[in-house]
């Protein structure tokens, strides 16, 4: 049975959902307004900066010598911002005990694929050039940012870059064909996303690129030779099958993958850790996983 806090959250979402299939400027404004209502730890300080020419928001959530998190925000590739997601990014960085960089990658349709992936690689190269060792860097992202995390890891491997220690995918969107069964079977359960909005956003993101492109839709990629992956998804998500496909493909290819399907949880429930016990538990578990991959003991 869903907790009272989760029921309240779902009711609120159903009452005022975002429409990514309508006016994009309005959707962007509405989404930023929603993100601005999310509590951010008042003890944290954020600083605007650049990584490899890409804007980012930095937060000292841990010690730099312990490592760094490169965080990729959600928003269906067409909306969202590093500032809007700074609280969630910082919570993941804090759980892992490393400093956090939330990346302001370019959005579609103004900058279609592969602009966002290019930005992630530019930022990652800048971290390496600064002297940070790859085994001290972790990548994470939610929703579109989760898919983008996997896309970036595939590109890094393809280009022969030294790979980071781990990837953490929160409710990832990684299949731009939008053909997965859960798009329909979970449609009534998911209060956050709908197939129409995702198809519209996918078309904006892809531009002239086919939806089956293995970097744009990394569920279709060869996932061998990647660093260990942690995938979190809720059972009440239309994107459930994206996570199942990632785990099956990565595991079959010999990549270490840990898939967690959280009962009744909604899209990126980690964002609501301030009110959901499951959100806090998911962040703590992710922190333990990331610390293990970084070769450190977790003190959650």
299's CB contacts (< 8 A; 6+ apart) are: 97
- Output the tens digit of pLDDT for each of the chain's 300 residues: 679 999 999 999 998 777 788 899 999 999 999 999 999 999 999 999 999 999 999 999 999 999 999 999 999 999 999 999 999 999 999 999 999 999 999 999 999 999 999 999 999 999 999 999 999 999 999 999 999 999 999 999 999 999 999 999 999 999 999 999 999 999 999 999 999 999 999 999 999 999 999 999 999 999 999 999 999 999 999 999 999 999 999 999 999 999 999 999 999 999 999 999 999 999 999 999 999 999 988 876
The domain locations on the chain are: 4-293
State the Cα torsion 247-109-210-143 to the nearest 10°: 10
Q: From the candidates 73, 237, 243, 270, give the one annotated as an active-site residue.
A: 237
Measured distance between the N- and C-terminal CA atoms of the chain, rounded to whole angstroms: 27
Q: Which of 171, 170, 167 is nearest to 155 (CA)?
A: 167
Q: Tell me the helix, strand and coil percentages in the chain, rounded to 5.
A: 40, 15, 45
19-to-29, 79, 88 alpha-carbon distances in Å:
11, 12, 22
Residue 282: predicted pLDDT: 98
Active site residue 143: yes
Two tokens at 118? 């290019």
Beta strand 99-103 pairing with 54-59: antiparallel
Catalytic residue among 143, 201, 217, 271: 143
Residue 199 CB neighbours (<10 A): 17
pLDDT in tens, 7-62: 999 999 998 777 788 899 999 999 999 999 999 999 999 999 999 999 999 999 99
Say whether 237 is catalytic. yes
Contact at 8 Å (CB) between 286 and 230? yes
> One of 73, 220, 232, 267 is an active-site residue; which one?
267
3-state class of 55 per DSSP?
strand
| Contacts of the segment 14-21: beta carbons below 8 A, 24+ positions apart | 14/191, 17/191, 17/192, 18/197, 19/197, 20/76, 20/78, 20/79, 20/197, 20/198, 20/200, 20/201, 21/194, 21/196, 21/197, 21/199, 21/200
Contact 58, 127 (CB under 8 A): no
pLDDT, one tens digit per residue, over 200-229 is 999 999 999 999 999 999 999 999 999 999
φ, ψ of residue 262 in degrees (nearest 5):
-95, 120
What is the CB neighbour count within 10 angstroms for residue 43?
Answer: 6
Give the residue ranges of DSSP H helices in the chain: 4-15, 24-36, 86-96, 115-129, 144-158, 182-185, 195-206, 240-252, 277-293
* Helix residue ranges, H only, 53-107: 86-96
* Fold entry, domain 4-293: Rossmann fold (3.40.50)
> Pairing state of beta strands 68-72 and 54-59?
unpaired
Task: Answer whether 0.95 is exceeded by the pTM.
Answer: yes
């Amino acid at each position: 049975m869903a907790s009272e806090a989760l029921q309240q959250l779902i009711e609120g979402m159903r009452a005022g959902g975002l429409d990514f299939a309508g006016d994009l400027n309005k959707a962007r404004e509405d989404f930023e307004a929603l993100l601005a209502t999310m509590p951010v730890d008042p003890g944290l300080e954020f600083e605007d900066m650049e990584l490899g020419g890409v804007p980012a928001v930095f937060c000292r959530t841990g010690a730099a010598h312990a490592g760094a998190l490169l965080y990729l925000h959600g928003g269906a590739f067409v909306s969202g911002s590093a500032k809007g997601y700074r609280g969630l990014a910082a919570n993941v960085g804090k759980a892992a005990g490393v400093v956090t960089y939330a990346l302001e990658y370019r959005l579609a349709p103004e900058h279609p694929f592969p602009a966002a992936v290019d930005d992630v690689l530019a930022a990652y190269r800048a971290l390496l050039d600064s002297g940070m060792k790859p085994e001290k860097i972790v990548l994470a992202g939610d929703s579109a940012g989760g898919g983008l995390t996997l896309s970036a890891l595939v590109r890094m491997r393809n280009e022969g870059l030294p790979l980071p220690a781990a990837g953490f995918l929160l409710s990832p969107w990684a299949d731009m064909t939008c053909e997965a069964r859960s798009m329909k079977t979970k449609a009534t359960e998911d209060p956050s996303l709908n197939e129409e909005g995702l198809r519209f956003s996918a078309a904006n993101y892809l531009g002239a690129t086919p939806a089956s492109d293995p970097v744009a839709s990394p569920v279709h990629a060869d996932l061998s030779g990647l660093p260990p992956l942690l995938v979190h998804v809720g059972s009440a998500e239309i994107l459930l099958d994206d996570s199942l496909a990632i785990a099956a493909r990565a595991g079959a290819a010999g990549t270490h993958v840990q898939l967690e399907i959280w009962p009744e949880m909604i899209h990126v429930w980690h964002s609501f850790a301030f009110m959901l016990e499951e959100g806090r538990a998911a962040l703590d578990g992710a922190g333990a996983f990331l610390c293990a991959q970084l070769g450190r003991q977790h003190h959650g």
